[in-house]
Amino acid sequence: MPDFCYMINFKHYFEATGNRARILLDGFSKIQKKGKLSLQVALSQLDLNLSSTVGNITFLAQHVDPVGYGAYTGKISMDALIERGIHGSLLNHSENRILPEQIIATVKRADDLGFNITLCLENINEIEKYVGIRPRYIAYEPKELIGGNISVSTAKPDVVENAARLCSEFDVDLLVGAGIKNSGDVKKSLELGAKGVLVASGVVKAEDPLGALNSLMSIQ
């Protein structure tokens, strides 16, 4: 299953910033060499420079704005990210929600530039609303399950299945996140039609992050 995507969001966790992030990435890279799956990591904006130091991993920003170069204080442009070898970003994460018009404008600009957007959405109504603009990925993450111990694939299997069917109609890959902790959660997500998982604390804040990631990827 070479197309199954493991996307790890480093957020702004202490365990995944600065030199600690580099150490994690070195370990993740060694795990990735053993497999054929897609490993993608969303770095803190302050650590995007690490993308040039580690191979075998696709790197993402955690947010991007629908602007180019110019007088945009505090904004993050796709143009600047692309110049630094970053060709994708999360967008509209539950911890950084944005307005509908900004979502639409950002995905449109990303399409024009060949930039991959992972659009985070919280329910099936949002998926129905935005799937037609065709981001690269839609990540279904019910807010109430984020950081918890019950996986979305266990708590809401019918929603995952419906979301996967809807995304497939528009040639959009569905990721699922929230509560994903082990290979059983991943396997269930795959069976329901997801093309990957988006995880954060389940790996980054685990006692053994490398062991946690290796376990998640063991379904191959």
Cα dihedral sign for 169, 171, 176, 181? Answer: positive
Query: 21-60 burial by CB neighbour count: b if 16+ within 10 A, else e?
Result: bbebbebbbebbeebebbbbbbbbeebbebbeebeebbbb
For residue 139 the two structure tokens come to 């990540």
**What is the residue whose two structure tokens read 């979502």?**
103
Active site (annotated) includes residue 141: yes
Paired with 209 in beta bridges are none
**What is the residue whose two structure tokens read 């329901």?**
192
For residue 35 the two structure tokens come to 């497999």
Active site (annotated) includes residue 95: no
Catalytic residue among 93, 122, 144, 191: 93
Catalytic residue among 63, 87, 122, 141: 141
Angstrom distance (rounded) from CA 172 to CA 176: 13
Catalytic residues: 93, 141
